[in-house]
Every structure is written in C-alpha cells, then in structure tokens.
Amino acid sequence: MNTIQEIQADIVEEFAVFTDWMDKYEYLIELGKNMPLIDEKDKTDDHLIRGCQSRVWLSCRQEEGKLFFAADSDAIITKGIISLLLKVYNGQTPEAILAADEAFIEKIGLRENLSPTRANGLVSMIQTIKGYAAAAVDQAARPAGKNDLESDVIVALRQVYDPEIPVNIYDLGLIYDIQADADGQVFIRMTLTAPNCPIADDVVAQVREAVADVPGVKDVQVDLVFEPEWTTDRMSEEAKLELGML
C-alpha cells in the first residue's frame, strides 16, 4: 500500500497530463465510476455528508487498524470529487489520515475550478473523512470497558457545520461537554461563535437530529450556553489548518 503522500504525488502527475479543465472533469467522472460504492441499505441520513450541495453518502469500516470508505452521490462531478478523496485515504491508518494535508488539491487546481458551493462541499467531505479517523483514534485510546457511544456521537457531531465558518462544530470547539451513558441517554453542552446568531435554534436542532440518528441513542438533550465565551483557542489543529491559521 502506497503512502498518502505517494498517492497524492501520483494524482498530481495524472492531472498534469490534462491542460483543459473539461478534460479533468471527464477524468473525475471516470474515477467516480470505479469508486467503492456504499451499500444501498446504508444510503441513510446518518451517512449523508452535511454541507454538500448534492447528496453524498459516506460509510467507513475499520480492518486491522486501517480505514476503508465507500461512498456515492447523486451528482456525477460530486461523485468524482469524493472518489478522488477515497483514492487518497482508503486503506490508510487513522493517524496517517489525520496527519495528511490536502496540498495536492491546490496543485491540481481543483478548488479554484469549483463553484463556491462545491468547494464548501469538498471541505465537508474532507472534514467527515477526518472525523471518522479522529473517532477511530479516540476509540483506540478509550479505556477498556467504557461504552462506545460517545465516539459515535462525536462522528455525528463532525457532520454538523457552523453556519458561517466551513468547519464542523466539534473541531471548531463549540462542544463543551458530551455525556453518553450505556442506556442511550446523551447530554451535550455546546455554544456558538456568536451569542446573537440568528439561526441558533436551527443549529441546535441539527445537533439533536444528527445525534438522535446514532444507533443506540434513545434521548438527546442539548444545552446551549455562552459561558465560557468561545475563542479560536478551542479549535482543533485540523480546523486551524483548514482555515489557514497555521
């Protein structure tokens, strides 16, 4: 298995053959045709990547310490984009996925040739993939005997995005506390980047919906607070890197 860096270098070489972006789009479409497809039974709301203009489903399984993804989309270009990411990350360890950057996306000119909505969708795809990787790392570090529900809740929270900043609310540092017991009762204490957010209720509703879809969750309580005040210090390293703050 090649490393992520080697795969990215190969992709840059492959795209360098094309001088016209229409040819590159055609290549993306071809990649989408060979992508490992998600099972039809898994095309559910809890596998939808939130933040994408088109519908994109992504599932993940772990075998022998490596992550394997399957996906699908109802838009051919979007399907090509997610297939490109899967080509990079499939079969890699969670640690390698988290440590990898996405410089190859800039090198092949993908981001600058996408519409703003598709570019935001690309960010959402990367964040979701890394969310699965982070959950796998958290799971490995979890003390024996502790239930797995909290890890699954974190994966779900990483699919909910701030309305103004293209980063999921977990890596943005908006989640102050998660309590998940073996009976499926989940309590979440969270904040927002600004106390006067006009769609605060919508964000809280998205959190409830995303967590309620997690298998094993029976009830979700969300407490929205504004003390302590949110600051950028609460953001994860991945989020800061994504926003060009590192």
The question of whether 60 is a catalytic residue gets the answer no
**Nearest by Cα to 211 from 67, 57, 45, 52:** 45
CA atoms of 8 and 132, how far apart (whole Å): 20
Instruction: Band the pLDDT of 5: cuts 50, 70, 90.
Output: very high
- More confident position, 48 or 88: 88
Q: Among 25-39, 58-72, 144-158, 179-193, which stretch is predicted with the lowest mean pLDDT?
A: 144-158
Sequential DSSP letters for 36-86: -BPPGGG-SGGGB-TT-SS-EEEEEEEETTEEEEEEEESSHHHHHHHHHHH
Radius of gyration, alpha carbons of the chain: 18
Q: Which CATH architecture has domain 4-140?
A: Alpha-Beta Complex (3.90)
**Nearest by Cα to 87 from 13, 8, 30:** 8
- The active-site residue out of 4, 7, 31, 52 is 52
Q: What is the pLDDT of residue 70?
A: 94
Range 213-242 average pLDDT: 89
Q: 156-204: per-residue pLDDT in tens?
A: 888 888 877 878 899 899 999 999 888 899 999 999 988 888 888 999 9
Range 217-228 average pLDDT: 93
The ranges assigned to domains in the chain are: 4-140, 146-242
**Cα-Cα end-to-end distance for the chain:** 30
CA atoms of 178 and 154, how far apart (whole Å): 9
Give start and end residues of each alpha helix (H) in 62-193. Answer: 76-89, 94-99, 103-107, 116-141, 149-157
Q: Is the alpha carbon torsion for 37, 126, 62, 153 positive or negative?
A: negative
- More confident position, 140 or 71: 71
Residue with tokens 């994109």: 56
Q: 79-98: per-residue pLDDT in tens?
A: 999 999 999 999 999 999 99
Q: What is the pLDDT of residue 244?
A: 78
Q: What is the pLDDT of residue 58?
A: 94
**pTM of the shown model:** 0.65
Q: 141-156: per-residue pLDDT in tens?
A: 654 444 578 888 888 8
Q: What is the pLDDT of residue 145?
A: 44
Mean pLDDT over all residues of the chain?
Answer: 88
Range 89-110 average pLDDT: 91
Q: What is the pLDDT of residue 138?
A: 72
Instruction: Band the pLDDT of 59: cuts 50, 70, 90.
Output: very high
146-242 CATH fold: GMP Synthetase; Chain A, domain 3 (3.30.300)
Has residue 22 got a pLDDT over 50? yes
Range 27-47 average pLDDT: 88
